């Protein structure tokens, strides 16, 4: 039996009124690189919400479809949609087995959504998930404090490159999206 494809780094930054979210392109099966250019960032709500995922790709797509349904049901209210998704994810027998995490960002806030029922809103304007998330998060927090002239997109790119230099499950093939 094959090991599920997983391992990645996704980072979102809300800085100086700008929002950017990015991810590397690496997917692994066990300790082997299966693909180097996976697109882990998706736009929802006509580009007003950007999401990133880590974990099983098929599971993440299922969750993104459900999240979009929740957004439509609750007038594109990201926080309410995320809370309703997290409730379903935690209590539904099928959804409970899905192995993925999501970051959602709009122009005003960042959310980390997990299958344990958590919807976390970071205090520092930086959210990260995946195997290299702590490296990227540490770099992004440092850059927001010590290089305030950088844009949110620049901070995401630089932080993901730092994570890729350290984490073997993260590569330098980045996709970064902004909310305009």
Active site residues: 8
Give CA–CA dist 70/122, Å, rounded: 22
8 A C-beta contact, residue 116 and residue 122? no
- Name, in order, each residue with C-beta under 8 angstroms of 141's C-beta and a sequence gap of 6 or more: 124, 126
- Could you say which DSSP state residue 73 is in? H
> In what order do the strands lie in the sheet containing 49-55?
41-44, 49-55, 100-105, 110-113, 119-120
- Could you say which DSSP state residue 74 is in? T
């Amino acid at each position: 039996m094959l090991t599920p494809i997983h391992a990645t780094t996704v980072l979102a930054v809300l800085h100086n009124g700008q929002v950017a979210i990015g991810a590397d392109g690496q997917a692994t099966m066990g300790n082997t690189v299966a693909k180097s250019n996976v697109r882990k960032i998706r736009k929802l709500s006509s580009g007003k919400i950007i999401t990133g995922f880590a974990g099983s790709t098929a599971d993440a797509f299922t969750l993104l479809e459900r999240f979009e349904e929740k957004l439509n049901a609750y007038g594109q209210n990201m926080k309410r949609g995320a809370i309703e998704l997290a409730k379903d994810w935690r209590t539904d027998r099928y959804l409970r087995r899905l192995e993925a995490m999501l970051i959602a960002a709009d122009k005003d806030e960042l959310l980390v959504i997990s299958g344990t029922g958590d919807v976390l809103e970071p205090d520092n304007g930086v959210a990260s998930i995946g195997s290299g998330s702590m490296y990227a998060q540490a770099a992004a927090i440092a850059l927001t404090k010590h290089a305030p002239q950088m844009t949110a997109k620049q901070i995401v790119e630089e932080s993901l490159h730092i994570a890729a230099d350290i984490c073997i499950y993260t590569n330098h093939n980045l996709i970064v999206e902004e909310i305009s």
